[in-house]
A and B are shown apart, each in its own frame.
Chain A
């Protein structure tokens, strides 16, 4: 099937408006006869469910947690971008669009990104109306901070818990509709397959995670908002339950999967401490506003620090290598995430890592604390303030900005980051790749939509900070509610979709067979054993730097792990009860397929772009020597993979990317 992105004609700034003016609408009386399933209740799914219900559709929403409020959007810390230009620093829709396309290393679809920038300002209005307590200045107006990869201050925030507050906003909107009966909420339910009738998505099969019961749910359209697949690495900043199952199931039923190799390794996470580690914790990128990243200049100091003979605070300014400021004077510590992560890896690979594992760099707040302290001393008319007093005043400001993050760090690492620099290292955080969707956010299965992190469209090969929340809410509140109406306008006479049909029988049987296999397979190894093994291959060979040899090895190694999994996996307990091991087994089975496709996608893309870094594709000389080298001539396309059984047999379809409104340039943050 040829890919049609369905991008409307006309100038980029008019596309969305024209589109909205010409789509078919469903009248309010007819909406009452149309059902929509939403899988996942994070920012994208939650906002979509609330808005669709409010419009009058009957919504069934599903979450594997015990409440929509617990979706992993809750953990987003730093903020949400919007082109409000409240700071008067030159921001505009175009500039947000430009920054996002550039930050994504010119691998996203222009029209989608422009629409995202266009609706961004509306998100803030909406959230404030809902009672989201964004940070404010003393005049009572909204405050902003700046984030990596941009030169304006456009990020709105609620302390270090922006994701939490936005999700609770969407959750409150859902609650209003649940109370009205317009959303039927299914907590502790997991989608295990999609059901197609006459080629269209018409329902899903779910498992009730409390009773183990397999259920059929029908609808006129299915929306997948199940988040990213970062847990393919086993260790990531995702929640333990975050999984690719919903997205992978629709892929297996005909939805193309796009750019799986575009994965974001976030530069500022707490380093791992041992083999028992179950997940990694992010420290918000906003910390790079005030933190300076460094490693010691001299190897003797590195060794002395590792052996505990020296403390980082013993090193003078001259003995420190602020490597981001050195390499990228224009953006300094605020380079985009992919660049910052690779720079940390470069220093640690060269032996300058500052902890026992050799995988840590410092994030130091001393300069900021001193700077704020001096400012405060001036504001409070304190003359001749002592160094301690200045530090105390400055610390209060930093505490107000990032208090909860500092506390979280101290609880995990047992060190006080006000006194000694934080240690950080990159970790898997976000997946830009995902299910391929057109401009309407519809997948290649008619009637099956995919929104938020689960789709691929807006962030290209690298996502800028504070843009995930923006995209999730834009898709759910403002984009999908329009585009889905255009599709559903053909369904006003369809009537309720029955679930006692052969399509549902078949899908349910497939699901039950797989569960029975897990329960009855008397293997010898736990699910986690396989997940950890997969994660290690992914991190070592499909991680921050990739090459042809490693990727080929990864593909065959993952296949071997998958084969062993299907022979040796052991799941204790029964199918008809709460069984966390069984849940994990199903998820890991899907990761084992996705992982191989991921490596294959990375192998085919013989260029470096954004989060995808091929060692064979670097600049060899000039000012950019050693930096990633993109190849627009041969690779300015989206890789959309069609499922054909084995991941190695997946068929590549290309969506050529056109850049009419932005000139393709090498991304320079020097």
Chain B
């Protein structure tokens, strides 16, 4: 298929960016979206133009590095996938595709489609851990029985890949799905409950400091999340925060 691409080009974080049109031809429907971008970049290199910078790494939907906003949706039109897993069969010959970086005040653009997600890192530094030494001198793993239900729910929350689609999608640029997922994972497990109160207070405080917006229960984040992280995690985080502030 032949496509027109409208892509956000921005030299660096200080430069003013703009949308630029490109044409790509003979795109196979079996290509992944990023393979289509590879074709474009190879074309640009061959004609001496600077290729489009975009974040990507594992290309199997787990590293959370890729981050495009395609036709007005984080990770594009498919559900339950990251951009690297999006396939060109989702598009038609002759389509015009708009490709922008994730947009949020807390995610400044570094170059073209690459954004800075250090705000997520700082939130994790504020409390995304259990304070246990890595010495291996802990108790036997089976001495803490955990109900299958709790373990499975913790696992579901823990599958967040930290890509930032929730923030990019949210009209308030809220990071509550991301933070809620980590808070929930630990709140659901006995190992995490010891410091649960401090963790939720510190992580939420850092989240606010970074300039992320609040949650107004729209639920768009849950729909666009490539890993299907549930909105319940936000509710659980709010409950944990309330508990922490009362006690």
Which residues on A are within 8 Å of B, measured CB to CB?
47, 50-51, 54, 65-67, 69-72, 74-75, 84, 86, 119, 122-131, 133-142, 158-159, 161, 164-165, 168, 171-173, 175-176, 178-179, 185, 187, 210, 237, 239-241, 273-274, 276-279, 281-282, 407-408, 411-412, 414, 477-478, 526, 528, 570, 572-573, 577-578, 580-581
Please list 15 pairs of residues, one from A and one from B, whose beta carbons are closer than 8 Å in the complex, sorted by A's number. Answer: A67-B121, A131-B130, A133-B152, A140-B148, A164-B161, A171-B124, A173-B129, A175-B129, A240-B59, A278-B34, A477-B134, A526-B45, A572-B44, A572-B51, A578-B111
Given contacts A411-B78, A577-B12, contact A70 B138 (CB under 8 A): no
Residues of B within 8 A of A411 (CB): 61, 78, 80-81, 85, 87
Inter-subunit contact A129/B130 (CB<8 Å) = yes
**Other CB < 8 Å A-B pairs besides A75-B62, A135-B151, A414-B87, 6 of them?**
A128-B141, A129-B138, A131-B185, A133-B151, A408-B60, A570-B45
Inter-subunit contact A86/B132 (CB<8 Å) = no
Inter-subunit contact A408/B85 (CB<8 Å) = yes
Residue of A with least CB distance to B26: A276
Enumerate B117-148 residues with CB–CB distance to A below 8 Å.
117-118, 120-121, 124-126, 128-136, 138-142, 144-148
Enumerate B40-69 residues with CB–CB distance to A below 8 Å.
42, 44-46, 48-51, 53, 55-65
A124 to B140, CA, bound (A): 8
A129 to B142, CA, bound (A): 10
Residues of A within 8 A of B81 (CB): 411
> Nearest Cβ distance between residue A514 and chain B, in whole angstroms?
19
> Nearest Cβ distance between residue B221 and chain A, in whole angstroms?
19
> Nearest Cβ distance between residue B241 and chain A, in whole angstroms?
19
Given contacts A54-B134, A175-B129, contact A74 B58 (CB under 8 A): yes
Residue of A with least CB distance to B191: A131
Question: Is B114 on the interface with A (CB-CB < 8 A)?
Answer: yes
Residues of B within 8 A of A135 (CB): 151, 155
Inter-subunit contact A176/B129 (CB<8 Å) = yes
Inter-subunit contact B125/A572 (CB<8 Å) = no
Question: Is B89 on the interface with A (CB-CB < 8 A)?
Answer: yes
Given contacts A278-B35, A411-B78, A580-B51, contact A175 B191 (CB under 8 A): no
Interface string of B70-104 (1 = CB under 8 A from A): 00000000101100010101000000000000000
Question: Is B30 on the interface with A (CB-CB < 8 A)?
Answer: yes
Question: Is B32 on the interface with A (CB-CB < 8 A)?
Answer: yes
Tally B residues with Cβ within 8 Å of A. Answer: 79
Residues of A within 8 A of B120 (CB): 67
Residues of A within 8 A of B126 (CB): 179
Given contacts A66-B118, A279-B59, contact A274 B34 (CB under 8 A): no
Residues of B within 8 A of A165 (CB): 155, 158
Inter-subunit contact B32/A278 (CB<8 Å) = yes
A129 to B120, CA, bound (A): 24
Question: Is B31 on the interface with A (CB-CB < 8 A)?
Answer: yes
Question: Is B167 on the interface with A (CB-CB < 8 A)?
Answer: no
Residues of B within 8 A of A72 (CB): 57-58, 63
A411 to B76, CA, bound (A): 14
A71 to B62, CA, bound (A): 10
Question: Is B21 on the interface with A (CB-CB < 8 A)?
Answer: no
Interface string of B5-42 (1 = CB under 8 A from A): 00000011000000000000000101110110011001
Interface SS, B side = loop
A168 to B140, CA, bound (A): 21
Question: Is B154 on the interface with A (CB-CB < 8 A)?
Answer: yes
Residues of B within 8 A of A578 (CB): 12, 53, 110-111, 114
Inter-subunit contact A133/B185 (CB<8 Å) = yes
Inter-subunit contact B125/A179 (CB<8 Å) = yes
Residue from B28, B89, B124 with most neighbouring chain A CB atoms (10 Å)? B124
> Nearest Cβ distance between residue A482 and chain B, in whole angstroms?
11
Question: Is B159 on the interface with A (CB-CB < 8 A)?
Answer: yes
Residues of B within 8 A of A279 (CB): 59-60
Inter-subunit contact B145/A69 (CB<8 Å) = no
> Nearest Cβ distance between residue A282 and chain B, in whole angstroms?
8
A131 to B141, CA, bound (A): 11
Question: Is B162 on the interface with A (CB-CB < 8 A)?
Answer: yes
Interface string of B139-183 (1 = CB under 8 A from A): 111101111100110110011011000000000000000000000
Residue of A with least CB distance to B139: A125
Residue from B58, B121, B138 with most neighbouring chain A CB atoms (10 Å)? B58
Question: Is B186 on the interface with A (CB-CB < 8 A)?
Answer: yes
Question: Is B192 on the interface with A (CB-CB < 8 A)?
Answer: yes
Residue of B with least CB distance to A176: B129
A227 to B80, CA, bound (A): 29
Cβ-closest 8 pairs across A and B: A140-B145, A172-B129, A122-B136, A133-B155, A129-B138, A128-B141, A133-B154, A70-B63
> Nearest Cβ distance between residue A496 and chain B, in whole angstroms?
25
> Nearest Cβ distance between residue B236 and chain A, in whole angstroms?
15
Inter-subunit contact B63/A239 (CB<8 Å) = yes
Residue of A with least CB distance to B80: A407
A338 to B14, CA, bound (A): 51
Residues of A within 8 A of B130 (CB): 129-131, 172
Inter-subunit contact A240/B121 (CB<8 Å) = no
Residues of A within 8 A of B185 (CB): 131, 133
Inter-subunit contact B38/A133 (CB<8 Å) = no
Inter-subunit contact A51/B64 (CB<8 Å) = no
Inter-subunit contact B51/A581 (CB<8 Å) = yes
Residues of B within 8 A of A171 (CB): 124
Inter-subunit contact A67/B117 (CB<8 Å) = yes
A135 to B50, CA, bound (A): 47
> Nearest Cβ distance between residue A651 and chain B, in whole angstroms?
36
Inter-subunit contact A136/B58 (CB<8 Å) = no
Residue of B with least CB distance to A277: B35
Inter-subunit contact A66/B65 (CB<8 Å) = yes
> Nearest Cβ distance between residue B158 and chain A, in whole angstroms?
5
A411 to B114, CA, bound (A): 25
Inter-subunit contact B189/A65 (CB<8 Å) = no
> Nearest Cβ distance between residue A583 and chain B, in whole angstroms?
11
Residues of B within 8 A of A131 (CB): 130, 154, 185-186, 189, 191-192
Residue from B12, B45, B116 with most neighbouring chain A CB atoms (10 Å)? B45
Given A142, A173, A241, which contacts B134 in the complex, CB threshold below 8 Å? Answer: A173
Residues of A within 8 A of B38 (CB): 276, 278, 528
A168 to B158, CA, bound (A): 9
Given B28, B46, B136, B146, which contacts A276 in the complex, CB threshold below 8 Å? Answer: B28
> Nearest Cβ distance between residue A119 and chain B, in whole angstroms?
7
A276 to B185, CA, bound (A): 39
Inter-subunit contact B89/A414 (CB<8 Å) = yes
Inter-subunit contact B49/A239 (CB<8 Å) = no
Given contacts A66-B55, A274-B28, A411-B85, contact A577 B141 (CB under 8 A): no
Residues of B within 8 A of A185 (CB): 121
Inter-subunit contact B134/A50 (CB<8 Å) = yes
